Amino acid sequence: MSDILLVADLPWVAEAVRAALAGAGREPAVVTEPSTAAAQALEQQARVVLVDLQVGSMGGMAVARAIRAAAAAAGAAPPAVALLLDREADAFLAGRAAVDGWIRKPFNGFALRRLVERLGAERVAEASTARHAAPIGGADTMPGERGVAQFGSAQRSGR
């Protein structure tokens, strides 16, 4: 059972995420039907859920909200949710969705691994604390790389 869930219906997105995480010895479980993502996240007790912004008929924002609602209804700690964005302007949507992080495609493996590791570590540390709203973190990139990862840790930890 994987502690990472990927919600993506395009094979190339799933392959890009698998390849990036393979370098860290991680294999995400993949859900291609967004309407089942919330149930899958709870069933496998995912620590981090990566959601393609444009997945199926629901979209990434709706999937993120469904995951939080399902966790609240079950009385479970919600997993960290990060969106895979198509363009820089989509960061506005990620903020409105109140997700824990996001990264813009095409991303590099290092940036995605760092995003997943950081969100997973924060989720473990915050397992008993209340959830906060939209992330306000800074960019995390490698010089010369196009992928941009955002984290919400600055607001959650009070830094």
Give the C-alpha separation, 33 to 96, whole Å.
23
Q: Judge whether residue 141 has pLDDT over 90.
A: no
CATH number of 4-156: 3.40.50.2300
Pairing of strands 101-104, 80-85: parallel
User: Residues 9, 52: contact at Cβ < 8 Å?
Assistant: yes
Q: Judge whether residue 122 has pLDDT over 90.
A: no
Q: Judge whether residue 158 has pLDDT over 60.
A: no
User: How many residues would you count in the chain?
Assistant: 159
Give residue 150's pLDDT: 55
User: Structural domain boundaries of the chain?
Assistant: 4-156
pTM for the complete prediction? 0.79
Cα end-to-end distance, the chain, whole Å: 33
Q: Using alpha carbons, list the distances in angstroms from residue 116 to 39, 60, 105.
A: 20, 17, 15
Give the lowest-confidence range in 62-71, 122-131, 132-141. Answer: 132-141
Q: What distance lies between CA 61 and its chain's CA centroid? A: 11
Listed ranges 12-16, 87-91, 148-152; the one with the highest mean pLDDT: 12-16
> Helix count (H) and strand count (E) of the chain?
6, 7
pLDDT band at 128 (very low <50, low <70, confident <90, very high): very low
Mean of pLDDT values over 61-68: 95
Give residue 149's pLDDT: 58
- Residues 6 or more apart whose Cβ sits within 8 Å of residue 133: 98, 155
Q: Judge whether residue 22 has pLDDT over 70.
A: yes
